[in-house]
Chain A
C-alpha cells in the first residue's frame, strides 16, 4: 500500500496538517479526503484553527482544502494558514544544555519562582551533602557539618546550622529561608558569608530569609515581628 503523504497533528486549539513537499496537490487532496472520512464525526461541532507545513499552497488550493475539511468533518474551520513557528527543539539537545549549566556562566537555573524542587525529609547530619539542580526543601534540621547545595532556592523547615549554598550555578536571585537561620556558612551564587565568631545562642525560633542585593547578603525576618 502506498505510504501516506499527509499527517494530522493536534495542537491546543486546532490541527496541524503536515504534507510531503514533493507530492502534487491532487494526491494530497485525495488523501486528506480519505483521512477525514476515516475520522468520521469526531470533529463535528468543533471550531478549528488549521495550520499546514511542508508544502506551500496557493490561495486557491487553501480554499479547496478548507471547504473539503468543513464538508467532511462538520467542524467550523476558522482559518487555514502556513505554520511559520519554529519546530520545537529536539529533546536531547535540551537536556544537554541543562547539564552543562556549571560551565556556561550566563545560563543558570531559572526556576526560582517556580521550578523543579527536591524535598528531603529528615535531619541532614554532619558529612551529608544534599546537592540538587533545582530548589531544595528540607523538612527537618541541617546540623553543623551538613551541607546543602542547590542551583535554586533552599528552604529549611527547621534549624539550619550547617553550610548552605543557594544559586550554586551563579544565580543571585536565589534565596535561603529557615525557621531558625544560624548557618555555619551561607553562600548565594559566588557570595560567601559566615556566622559571627561570638556565638549567640537563642532559645526561640526566628524564621529568617537571606537574599542578595548589590552583592551583599541581607538577612531579615519573613514573618511580622510579634511580641
Chain B
C-alpha cells in the first residue's frame, strides 16, 4: 500500500526541500522504493539538494503534457537504488500543471513506489494546490519564529479544508540554547498554537548547509545531529514509536565532547 505525502510550510526557507530530501533518502535507506516529486515549477531546488541537476532531461511538465512517459523523466539517485526524483521544470510556471493532472500522476506513481514524497512550493497559490491534490498525508514544516508558525497555522487550515486531516508537524532549526534563554519559542509553545501531532524536531545544524551544498542529504551522516533527527522522523513515518530526541540534556560539556569524537547520540 503506497502513500503520497506532501511536505509543505506556507513560508519559504523553513526547510521543505531539505526535509523532503532527507525523509526520502531515509526511507530509501530503510529499503523502501521512494520517489520525490518536485512541484516547485520555475524555482526547482530538490535536484540541486540531491546533486542530480546534471541528469535532468525531462521534467514534471513534460510528463503531464504527455511529451514523455513518467519512466523517462524519473532520475535514479546516484547513491541509493530505491530512490528516484521527478524534477520540476525550471523555465515554466506553476500554471503549467493543474491539480487534476497531479492526481493522475500520483496514481500512476503509486503502482511503482512505496512512498511518493511531494515537495511543495512556498505560498498558497496554484503550486500549493497542485502539490496537495494527490496527497494522502501532509507534513507541515515550521521554524520557531512567529511568522513561520503563523503561516503553518494558515496551511493547516487549508489542508483541513482540502480533506487532508491530521497533518504532522516538524519543527526545524531549533536552537536549545536560545530557547533556554527565552529568546526563541519552545516546542511546547508551538504545539500549543498549532495543536497537531509532532513528528520530529530538527536542531539547527551547520552540517545541513554543508550537505545541501554538496548534494548529500544529512540523514546519511551518522555524526550529524540533524541527520539523527531526520532518521528518527523517517522511522516515525514508517509507523515506529520513537521518542522525540531530548535536545536539552545534550547541551553542555559531555555532549560537545561526544560530538567532537563523533559518537552517535541516541
Contact = CB atoms under 8 A, between A and B. Distances in A.
Nearest to B55: A194
Contacts of A184: 53-54
Nearest to A127: B90
Interface of A: 126-129, 144-145, 147, 184-185, 192, 194-195, 197
B53 A197 contact: no
B56 interface: yes
A138 to B, nearest CB: 16
A137 to B, nearest CB: 20
A185 B78 CA distance: 16
Contacts of B57: 185, 192
B51 interface: yes
Interface residues of B, number: 13
Most chain B CB within a 10 A radius of its CB, from A128, A147, A184, A195: A184
11 contacts: A127-B90, A127-B91, A145-B44, A145-B90, A147-B90, A147-B91, A184-B54, A185-B55, A195-B54, A197-B51, A197-B54
A64 to B, nearest CB: 67
B221 to A, nearest CB: 18
B106 interface: no
Interface in B18-75: 42-44, 48, 51, 53-57
A145 B89 CA distance: 10
Given A184-B53, A185-B56, A197 B78 contact: yes
Contacts of A129: 91
A217 B56 CA distance: 18
A17 to B, nearest CB: 55
Given A127-B42, A144-B48, A144-B53, 7 more contacts: A126-B90, A128-B91, A147-B90, A147-B91, A184-B53, A185-B54, A192-B57
A147 B91 CA distance: 8
Contacts of A192: 57
A28 B86 CA distance: 74
A192 B56 CA distance: 10
A115 B161 CA distance: 58
A153 B57 CA distance: 20
Top 9 closest pairs, chain A to chain B, by CB = A194-B54, A129-B91, A184-B54, A127-B90, A195-B54, A145-B90, A185-B54, A184-B53, A127-B91
A192 B57 CA distance: 9
A197 B50 CA distance: 11
A128 B89 CA distance: 11
A161 to B, nearest CB: 11
Contacts of A145: 44, 90
A144 B213 CA distance: 14
A195 B78 CA distance: 14
A148 B264 CA distance: 47
Contacts of A144: 48, 53
Contacts of A127: 42-43, 90-91
A195 B53 CA distance: 10
A15 B119 CA distance: 71
Most chain A CB within a 10 A radius of its CB, from B42, B51, B57: B57
Contacts of B55: 185, 194
Contacts of B56: 185
A83 B78 CA distance: 67
Contacts of B53: 144, 184
Nearest to B51: A197
Most chain A CB within a 10 A radius of its CB, from B42, B53, B56: B53
Nearest to B57: A192
A129 B42 CA distance: 11
B210 to A, nearest CB: 14
A129 B90 CA distance: 9
